[in-house]
């Protein structure tokens, strides 16, 4: 008998939990129309971009070759993320999705966070060491090969490292038209204006000259 009364209660609790927490799974607000092709020239500031008139939409607003080629990897990271967000693909405006292509010729996509969104990625080439750090400071890692996928939960620090002798390429998608990215090294050592050296020295418990040495690496800026 007891179980009969518990079942509806459990059902009610689960439904309530789902209803209360459902909005957490969305990053961007829901669209109110079929599409809203971004009009970057409109001069109106809204959450996203103002729409150009629906009748002015063209086939080219719904297609993009932004990530058909990778960007140059000739930089200190040896990697380049080619972004396909609503700023380069106006048709994405208000739809809550976007993609990047990340090419690794050398080694690393440094530790970073997408503050507003989760990310799901797919490796098409190479061997990548993919790592995710939880808020409990636990590191989840895997050596990812072509055809395999990963998910980066929203706001968690993560990085990728090319382990192979050759190139590695992955495509990643986000539940936002503009996910945003915060690189940990650049935030700490390349902010404008700079975080006072004394504070970083205390935070890392090292001498100030070690912080100054890191800050002197101009490519952070």
Ligand X SMILES: *[C@@H]1O[C@H](CO)[C@@H](O)[C@H](O)[C@H]1NC(C)=O
Binding site for ligand X (CB under 6 A): 71-72, 74-75, 77, 79-81, 110, 183, 185-186
Contacts of 153 (CB under 8 A, 6+ apart): 118, 132
CB of 60 or CB of 75, closer to ligand X: 75
Please give the Cα distance from 220 to 186 (Å, whole number).
5
Find, among 109, 105, 124, the residue nearest to 170 by Cα: 124
Pair of tokens at residue 148:
């395999």
Report the nearest approach of ligand X to the CB of residue 123 (Å).
17
Asked if residue 215 belongs to a known ligand binding site, the reply is no
Asked if residue 213 belongs to a known ligand binding site, the reply is no
Report the nearest approach of ligand X to the CB of residue 68 (Å).
12
Asked if residue 194 belongs to a known ligand binding site, the reply is no
CB of 23 or CB of 193, closer to ligand X: 193
Report the nearest approach of ligand X to the CB of residue 77 (Å).
4
**Beta strand ranges found along 64-107 (DSSP E):** 79-84, 98-104
CB of 37 or CB of 159, closer to ligand X: 159
Report the nearest approach of ligand X to the CB of residue 107 (Å).
11
Asked if residue 119 belongs to a known ligand binding site, the reply is yes
Q: Which residue is nearest to ligand X (CB)?
A: 71
Q: State how far the alpha carbon of 105 is from the alpha carbons of 6, 41, 87, 132, in Å.
A: 58, 36, 26, 21
DSSP code of residue 146: T
CB of 173 or CB of 187, closer to ligand X: 187
- Count CB neighbours of 65 within 10 A: 8
Binding residues: 100, 109, 112, 114, 119, 158
Binding residues for Mn(2+): 112, 114, 119, 158
């Amino acid at each position: 008998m007891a179980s009969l009364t518990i079942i509806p209660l459990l059902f009610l609790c689960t439904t309530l939990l789902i209803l209360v927490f459902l909005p957490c799974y969305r990053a961007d607000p829901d669209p109110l129309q079929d599409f809203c092709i971004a009009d970057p020239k409109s001069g109106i500031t809204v959450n996203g971009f103002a729409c150009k008139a629906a009748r002015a939409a063209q086939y080219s607003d719904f297609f993009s070759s932004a990530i058909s080629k990778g960007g140059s990897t000739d930089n200190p990271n040896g990697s380049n993320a080619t972004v396909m967000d609503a700023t380069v693909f106006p048709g994405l405006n208000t739809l809550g999705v976007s993609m990047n292509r990340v090419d690794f010729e050398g080694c690393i996509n440094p530790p970073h966070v997408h503050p507003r969104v989760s990310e799901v990625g797919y490796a098409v080439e190479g061997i990548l060491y993919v790592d995710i750090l939880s808020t409990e400071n636990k590191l989840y890692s895997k050596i990812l090969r072509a055809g395999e996928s990963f998910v980066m939960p929203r706001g968690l620090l993560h990085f990728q490292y090319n382990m192979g002798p050759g190139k590695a390429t992955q495509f990643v998608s986000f539940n936002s038209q503009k996910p945003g990215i915060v690189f940990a090294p650049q935030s700490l050592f390349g902010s404008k204006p700079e975080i006072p050296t004394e504070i970083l020295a205390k935070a890392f418990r090292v001498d100030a000259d070690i912080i100054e040495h890191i800050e002197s690496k101009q490519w952070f800026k």
